[in-house]
Each structure stands twice: as C-alpha cells, then as structure tokens.
Amino acid sequence: MEISANLVRDLRARTGAGMMDCKKALEESAGDIEKAIEFLRIRGLSKAAKKVGRETSEGLVVSYIHPGNRIGVLVEVNCETDFVARTDDFQNLVKNLAMHIAAAAPLGVTREDIPADLLAKEKEVFRAQALEEGKPAAVVDKIVQGRIEKFYAEAALMDQVYVKDNDKKVSELVSEAIAKLGENIKVARFARFQLGQ
C-alpha cells in the first residue's frame, strides 16, 4: 500500500514522532492512523525502557504556586542534556508535574522514598482493621498487602494516577516523555508547602 505524504504529516502532527517512524508505523498498520498511533506508543515505550539507566545530570527546578497562594511546590526533574531541558515539551512536563504534586500531595517520589516507620504504622493499622472486620487470620496478610498497594498508589508520586488524565499514572506520563524526547528523564525530588502545615 502506498502511504501518502499527507498521511505521514498528519500522523507526525498528532504524535511528534519522526517522519520515518511515522511512515513505518503507517506501513505496519496498512494506513490506519489510529493503529499507527498505537504502534508508535508501543515502540516508543519499549525504547523508553532502554533509556532508563542512562545518567541524568541536566534538567530544571520549577516552582508552582497554586491560585490563592496557599500551596506551593518546588520540583527538580532531570534529563541527559541541557538541549532537552530547554524544549517546550520538557518544560511543560515539569510544570505539569509541579501542578500534580500541588493537587495530589504525594509523600515521596517512589515507593522507596516513603518513610519505613510510616509504612510500618500503616501496616499495623491495616492489620488491626482487617481483624476488627472479622476477617479470617489466614487472609489477613493478603488484605494488608492489598491495602499497602492502595496506600502506595496514593502516597508515591510515580504510582499516583495523573490528575489531568485518570487513564494513566505519573510513571506513564514520564515514560511517554522519555519516548518522545529520546532521553532518560527522572523526577529527582520535590518539596510541597501548604499554608499552616
């Protein structure tokens, strides 16, 4: 099947992928633009997984003050080169992450950043709740583990559902940026300030 230049241009405009990648995706999907987008996403995310180990020594520190001046966020997001750090796509990613942090109030970037004493206390509470609910002792551990997973989904930034798109996690948002920009991207740290806390 012959792929028209207009179709390639349309796909490129919608995805930001390179011309040759768009042409290959359209060839693989027999000209179906939706299937081509899916092909590019799958291919891009697998490329992103390969980039995760690369060093990130450039990036941005961005501040965000929520309207009303009651919540403020500082976030550091790293990438591999200052060239990527200056792109609109990277800057928008960092701003969106700062707004997400203001809204969702995570406790740490990853699960590993959640304080061990807080995690131990949550496990104790979940165990006591399960026993209070009359759950059999044999399944209490599974119930506690399930509730800990839910706790991580609320407390760890990378596990949280992205506030602007409930169909993806923050980790997926970052992976999509890695695929699009072609560099490893890492949320290094953040600080969230709320008036009176």
Contact (Cβ atoms closer than 8 angstroms) between residue 190 and residue 75: yes
Token representation of residue 102: 């203001």
Whole-angstrom distance, CA of residue 135 vs CA of residue 146: 14
Residues in the chain: 197
**Domains of the chain, earliest start first:** 5-51 (1.10.8.10), 58-110+156-194 (3.30.479.20), 115-154 (1.10.286)
* Closest to 37 in 3D by CA, of 13, 55, 57, 56: 13
Confidence of residue 9 (pLDDT cuts 50, 70, 90): confident
Contact (Cβ atoms closer than 8 angstroms) between residue 94 and residue 60: yes
pTM here is 0.70
Contact (Cβ atoms closer than 8 angstroms) between residue 169 and residue 162: yes
Q: Model confidence over 66-111: pLDDT tens digits?
A: 999 999 999 999 998 889 999 999 999 999 999 999 999 999 999 9
Q: Model confidence over 154-195: pLDDT tens digits?
A: 999 999 999 999 999 999 999 889 888 888 899 999 999 999
Q: Model confidence over 27-52: pLDDT tens digits?
A: 888 888 888 878 877 776 545 555 55
Q: Model confidence over 103-127: pLDDT tens digits?
A: 999 999 999 999 999 999 999 999 8
